[in-house]
């Protein structure tokens, strides 16, 4: 079997492009989950882009073992030096350096002649080699480059010491047939390519990144790059979970071996959605809430007779669960703990108690508690040492859109109350909270989604607040009352700003 290496760039290409700065601890939490998932390489960030990113890469390098930790650089000495510093402490450090090679990148962005680009590429690889043995070279916008020039650059990078060569379709312009042809061309026309790992890195602008990655793998690439949930710039990166499950589901045809634990896919997807605040669309392949639901009568009938009629993947394989025991207000701690364990959550007694109390509050409002509700509860903050705690909300509406909200909170354990008007109830609540805190924040985004279905479904609100000190932070709140969920999300984001 041929080995396929999984290179995760959720924390670099995925996160950076969203404009959300995950803090170092959030990045560490994701990196630890990626280790559970069993990826081979974690691209933890672009250290030269900001001191915060360098710090996060260094934290991950020191704390996360058993996997390669990689940092991105431009083909610039100071970037490479900074990256090497950030990777100190890593068990398997990798520097990922490179330069644009397409005519538009060379002429318009870099303003360098092709011969000079080739020299800069070689110098960057050689410089990175002074620090680490494992150097990956990327030829940015490779797909739109001149084939023979690309082959020359890749060959020179290999001669300079690159161990992995990355052939990105940076703008997601390729189609599977063409991308397969490009990888195949390089496999046959670059001297020394058999000694290194060829990597595919595709973007989803035309919705073909997974197909293109698979085409590149079939042509001989040994590493695939992507982000969990396909997050990233513009239309995003290749969804790593899609490639993993395509290779797994079609393993008899592809004969590729990976070391991933597919059962961690659902948990990884949920964590990434929670920390980035980028929700997973319901119809998203593999990890969407509806990916394993059978709605029409004909399909339900077929699945009940034999699930193979309409299912190509058992939900259990990705860590999803078919629940058998129903949880309600009558369920005890034992039943809750059992279900949470089945779902992959291990809780200490005090955590279980906190979740159980939240569970009971919810169960008072809903007849049945589903796994999705529990995942939402588990994703919520503990609420013990918060700067601001929500106590009460009363909203009065008048006319079509005007509303007045009266909000009570504890700030630093002191109770206070204020009221404000707004363009609708949620706006009024946010305005009242702003009056209470006096913080300078800007609401960049607000969204509300239903965790389960039906009129008593749990609503999950997400707010993105920008503050001078912390940049963009994401807050989450859940409740069967959407105004309360929104207020909780707002307060959660404020607590992160004050942390």
Using CB under 6 A, which of the segments 19-27, 166-174, 187-195, 466-474 binds ligand KIV? 166-174
8 A C-beta contact, residue 274 and residue 492 = no
Give min distance, CB of 164 to ligand KIV, in A: 11
Overall residue count recorded for the chain in this entry: 499
β-sheet bridge partners, residue 463: 446, 475
Decide: is 284 part of the binding site for ligand KIV (CB under 6 A).
Answer: no
Pick 230 or 319: Cβ nearer Zn ion: 230
Pick 14 or 477: Cβ nearer Zn ion: 14
Pick 138 or 490: Cβ nearer ligand KIV: 138
Pick 162 or 403: Cβ nearer ligand KIV: 162
Give min distance, CB of 172 to ligand KIV, in A: 9
Decide: is 169 part of the binding site for Zn ion (CB under 5 A).
Answer: no
Size of the site for Zn ion (CB under 5 A): 1
CA distance 184 to 221: 9
Decide: is 140 part of the binding site for ligand KIV (CB under 6 A).
Answer: yes
8 A C-beta contact, residue 220 and residue 184 = yes
CA distance 75 to 79: 7
Give min distance, CB of 172 to Zn ion, in A: 9
Considering only 45, 47, 71, 168, the residue that binds ligand KIV (CB under 6 A) is 168
8 A C-beta contact, residue 143 and residue 100 = no
Considering only 8, 13, 155, 264, the residue that binds Zn ion (CB under 5 A) is 13
β-sheet bridge partners, residue 224: 6, 200
- The footprint of ligand KIV on residues 304-333 (CB under 6 A) is none
Pick 141 or 242: Cβ nearer ligand KIV: 141
β-sheet bridge partners, residue 201: 168, 225
- The footprint of ligand KIV on residues 9-38 (CB under 6 A) is 13
In 3D space, the residue among 377, 373, 340, 339 whose CA is nearest the CA of residue 358 turns out to be: 377
Q: Kindly state the tokens that stand for 329.
A: 């207000």
Pick 203 or 366: Cβ nearer ligand KIV: 203
Pick 223 or 331: Cβ nearer Zn ion: 223
Using CB under 5 A, which of the segments 6-14, 50-58, 214-222, 276-284 binds Zn ion? 6-14
Give min distance, CB of 176 to ligand KIV, in A: 18
Pick 121 or 355: Cβ nearer ligand KIV: 121
Using CB under 6 A, which of the segments 59-67, 164-172, 440-448, 474-482 binds ligand KIV? 164-172
- The footprint of ligand KIV on residues 170-209 (CB under 6 A) is 170, 201, 203
Considering only 5, 7, 137, 138, the residue that binds ligand KIV (CB under 6 A) is 138
Pick 71 or 477: Cβ nearer ligand KIV: 71
Contact positions toward Zn ion, by CB under 5 A?
13
Contact positions toward ligand KIV, by CB under 6 A?
13, 138, 140, 166, 168, 170, 201, 203
């Amino acid at each position: 079997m041929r080995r396929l290496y999984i290179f995760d760039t959720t924390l670099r290409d995925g996160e950076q492009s969203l404009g959300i700065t995950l803090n170092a601890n959030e990045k560490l939490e994701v990196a630890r989950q990626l280790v559970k998932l069993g990826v081979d390489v974690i691209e933890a960030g672009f250290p030269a882009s900001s001191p915060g990113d360098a710090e996060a890469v260094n934290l991950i390098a020191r704390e996360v073992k058993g996997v390669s930790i990689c940092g991105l650089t431009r083909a610039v000495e100071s970037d490479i030096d900074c990256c090497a510093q950030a990777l100190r402490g890593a068990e398997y450090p990798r520097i990922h350096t490179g330069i644009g090679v397409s005519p538009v990148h060379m002429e318009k962005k870099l303003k360098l002649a092709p011969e000079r680009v080739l020299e800069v590429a070689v110098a960057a690889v050689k410089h990175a080699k002074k620090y680490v043995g494992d150097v990956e070279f990327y030829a940015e916008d490779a797909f739109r480059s001149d084939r023979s020039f690309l082959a020359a650059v890749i060959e020179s990078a290999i001669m300079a010491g690159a161990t992995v060569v990355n052939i990105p379709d940076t703008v997601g312009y390729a189609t599977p047939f063409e991308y397969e042809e490009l990888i195949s061309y390089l496999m046959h026309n670059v001297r020394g390519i058999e000694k290194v790992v060829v990597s595919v890195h595709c973007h989803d602008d035309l919705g073909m990144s997974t197909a293109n990655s698979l085409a590149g793998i079939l042509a001989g690439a040994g590493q695939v790059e992507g982000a969990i949930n396909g997050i990233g710039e513009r239309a995003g990166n290749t969804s790593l979970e899609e490639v993993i499950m395509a290779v797994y589901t079609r393993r008899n045809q592809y004969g590729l071996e990976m070391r991933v634990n597919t059962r961690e896919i659902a948990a990884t997807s949920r964590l990434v959605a929670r920390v980035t605040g980028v929700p997973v669309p319901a119809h998203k392949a593999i990890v969407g809430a509806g990916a394993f639901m059978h709605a029409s009568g004909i399909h339900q009938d077929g699945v009940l007779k034999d699930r193979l009629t309409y299912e190509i993947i058992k939900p259990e394989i990705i860590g999803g669960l078919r629940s058998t025991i129903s949880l309600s207000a009558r369920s005890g701690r034992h039943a809750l703990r059992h279900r949470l364990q089945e779902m992959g959550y291990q809780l200490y007694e005090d955590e279980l108690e906190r979740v159980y109390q939240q569970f009971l509050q919810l169960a008072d409002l809903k007849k049945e508690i589903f796994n999705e509700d529990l995942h939402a509860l588990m994703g919520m903050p503990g609420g013990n040492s918060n700067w601001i705690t929500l106590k009460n909300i009363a909203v009065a509406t008048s006319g079509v859109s005007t509303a007045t909200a009266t909000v009570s909170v504890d700030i630093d354990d002191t109770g206070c109350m204020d009221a404000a008007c707004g363009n609708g109830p949620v706006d009024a609540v946010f305005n009242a909270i702003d009056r209470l805190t006096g913080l300078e924040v800007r609401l960049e985004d607000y969204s509300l989604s239903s965790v389960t279905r039906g009129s008593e479904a749990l609503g999950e609100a997400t707010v993105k607040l920008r503050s001078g000190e912390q940049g963009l932070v994401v807050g989450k709140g859940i409740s069967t009352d959407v105004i309360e969920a929104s207020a909780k999300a707002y307060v959660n984001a404020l607590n992160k700003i004050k942390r």
